[in-house]
Amino acid sequence: MAPSDLFTRVPALFKRLIDDAALFPPGNATMQDAVREHLQVKARRYADITGLFLCPADRVEELVQELAAMAPASPIELSLVVDADLSGFRDALALLRSHRALARLQMVEMAAPTAMDSSWLVDAGQVIPVGVVKVVEPQRPPGDLAREQSEWLHSVRRVAEHGYWPKLRCGGLTADAFPSNDQVAEFLRVTCALQVPFKATAGLHHAAHYTDRGTGFSHHGFLNLLLAVAQTLRGQSPLAALSNTDGRSLALEAKAMSDQLTNAVRARMASYGSCSLAEPLADLTDLGLL
């Protein structure tokens, strides 16, 4: 295979967009399979589309064992997913520090406790090493009651004001795990106004908005989300971009984005976690974006 076949330049809009969440539902890969596939992806032609490897804090020992057996040429870039009480985090951190040749901690992701306050944010931030990106997912209540949504958005602001990246959950195993277009739009307005990066997770398997025939759940598309950020940054409503189910028209909009706007969009939407890389890659290839 010629060198040109091994690596292909990934457009800036998609570079390091997808964090590898193969260990998490619905993928639930074994540690061995997840690590092997991650290392293989990093050696393939679209390596630059993949960002961090996500690992629960309580599985770091297992991760280190697999990495030691596979002996990667360079350490993998890691995001640790921890509980709100940070249980197991210190042990995981100590283990990683003693195996720097295998994994480099870049990010820590946490779901906020139900009663999140400033003291929790301060305390959690003091445990996480300086230079490591801190991500917190404020709990979004089910339904669309104005008061509850206002409280959720207030939590998003508080997270950002304490130096964390807010996380937007876009799906899950139940219908109420999928935020409405209006809820996503409000989240984008808040984060863009605050000029903070955010991370998305769950449900973003495909480029364009679609309805899953098996579950009936309406899934957001990662291309919809990127273009919705662009619309928000322009001061326009992101709702049309969020609801568009036509992948071809979304692709045309993406191709027309200027370099300046592309960089601005990715400064807000930093990445999203996906248990599958094959599906988004297939969509981007089919749409002529790779």
pLDDT tens digit string along 156-194?
999 999 999 999 999 988 888 999 999 999 999 999 999
Q: Is residue 290 part of a domain?
A: no
Q: Is residue 287 part of a domain?
A: no
| Structural domain of 11 | 3-282
- The yes-or-no verdict on residue 4 having pLDDT over 50 is no
Give the CATH number, domain containing residue 228. 3.20.20
Phi-psi region of 131 (alpha: psi -120 to 50; beta: other; left: phi over 0): left
Burial 265-281 (b: 16+ CB within 10 A, else e): bbebbbbbbbbbbeebb
Q: Is residue 21 part of a domain?
A: yes
Question: What does the pLDDT look like over 8-55, one tens digit per residue?
Answer: 678 999 999 999 999 998 889 999 999 999 999 998 888 999 999 999
pLDDT at 8: 65
- How many structural domains is the chain composed of? 1
Predicted structure pTM score: 0.93
- The whole-angstrom separation of Cα 68 and Cα 70 is 6
The secondary structure of the chain as a DSSP string is: --HHHH--PPPGGGTT-EEE-TTSTTT---HHHHHHHHHHHTTSTTGGGEEEEEEEGGGHHHHHHHHHHH--SSPEEEEEEE-TT-TTHHHHHHHHHTTTTTEEEEEEEEEPPTT--HHHHHHHHHHSPTTSEEEEEPPPPSS--HHHHHHHHHHHHHHHHTTPEEEEE---SSGGGS--HHHHHHHHHHHHHHT--EEEESS--SSS-EE-TTT--EEPPHHHHHHHHHHHHTTS-SHHHHH---HHHHHHHHHH--HHHHHHHHHHEEEEEES-SHHHHHHHHHTT--
Crossing angle of helices 259-268 and 222-233, in 10° steps, is: 110
Q: Is residue 125 part of a domain?
A: yes
Q: Is residue 166 part of a domain?
A: yes
Question: What does the pLDDT look like over 203-217, one tens digit per residue?
Answer: 898 999 999 998 899
Q: Is residue 17 part of a domain?
A: yes
pLDDT at 163: 96
Q: Is residue 207 part of a domain?
A: yes
Q: Is residue 288 part of a domain?
A: no
